[in-house]
Amino acid sequence: MVYLVEHFYSIQGEGRYVGTPSLFFRFGGCNMRCEGFGCEETAPNGEKIIGCDTIYAVNKEHFLQNWIPITSANELLNILNLYDLPFAVDVVFTGGEPLIYANEALFVEFLEKLDEMGHKITFETNGTLSVDFERYEVYKKCIFALSVKLSNSNEAFAKRVKGEVISTIALNAKEAFFKFSIDADSINAALEDEIFEITSYASKSSVYCMPLGGTKEEVEANTEPLVEFCKAKGYNFSDRLHIRIWDQNRGV
């Protein structure tokens, strides 16, 4: 069984394919909390929860009642029929951390069906969970946006940076690129060293830096300093277009 939090048809707001029409599947559950990001969400019981900007797809304890249990691949495939989609639209798996379900039979079956239908599949992942590319060859046809967490997440380095996992994904996937969330206060020499070390595990993969924030105001406050950082270091700047347009992070 897997948990689905939401699905929506929008444009990709981040990374290499920003602006591309995409059907998103947001899955529930994650192996991190990232409370350092400081985004606040109100749980159904009224309690304020701190974490990443999609904490509602991470914190099972407080948000499980809003997660949808999925027991077959057909339940996920039927969702495609709810939208008026162009042929072979991009499909994005996000979370939470979607790769916590990487070995689930129904999850793999869903991937294989999407591939047979001609869809391009992208995983938005924190890059810490292993993928069995030999057993499940469909993963070799997928794109991986490696959103490896930095020290501003407040997660321990050993937990958030798994060099062997990063290298294996970059070596076996159809395509892989890095995607970092950065706030203005974190831009310093230590951050530069950290990014250099992380990206060394897949040195041929492109690097995209995004302004941290769960609201338009927060994103805009972090944008200009990050642009200057990208200019100085030669990294790609990635907007968070969905937040800038709709000023929210659910269903967009």
Q: What is the residue extent of each domain of the chain?
A: 2-246
Q: Identify whether the C-beta of residue 67 lies closer than 8 Å to the C-beta of residue 61.
A: no
Q: Which residue, chain included where needed, has tokens 């069995």?
A: 132
d(C-alpha 121, C-alpha 91), whole Å: 5
> Of 79, 81, 75, 41, which is closest to residue 61 (Cα–Cα)?
41
What three-state secondary structure class fits 95? coil
Query: Locate tokens 């020499």: which residue?
Result: 189
- Which CATH architecture fits 2-246? Alpha-Beta Barrel (3.20)
Q: What is the pLDDT of residue 248?
A: 78
Beta-bridge partner residues of 242: none
CB-based burial of residue 11 (10 Å sphere; 0-12 exposed, 13-18 middle, 19+ buried)? Answer: middle
> pTM, whole model, 2 decimals?
0.94
What is the spatial distance between Cα 39 and Cα 36, in angstroms, rounded to a whole number? 8
Look at residue 40 in the predicted model and tell me its pLDDT. 84
The residue type at 110: F
Q: Sort strands 2-11 and 68-70 into parallel, antiparallel or unpaired.
A: antiparallel
- List the pLDDT tens digit at each of the 252 positions of the chain: 999 999 999 999 999 999 999 999 999 999 999 998 888 888 889 898 888 889 999 999 999 999 999 999 999 999 999 999 998 899 999 999 999 999 999 999 999 999 999 999 999 999 999 999 999 999 999 999 999 999 989 999 999 999 999 999 999 999 999 999 998 988 887 788 999 999 999 999 999 999 988 889 999 999 999 999 999 999 999 999 888 888 877 777
Q: Are 243 and 216 in contact (CB under 8 A)?
A: yes
Q: What is the dihedral of CA 230, 232, 234, 235, to 10 degrees?
A: -20
User: Which region holds residue 107: left if phi is over 0, alpha if psi is between -120 and 50, else beta?
Assistant: alpha
| Size of the chain in residues | 252
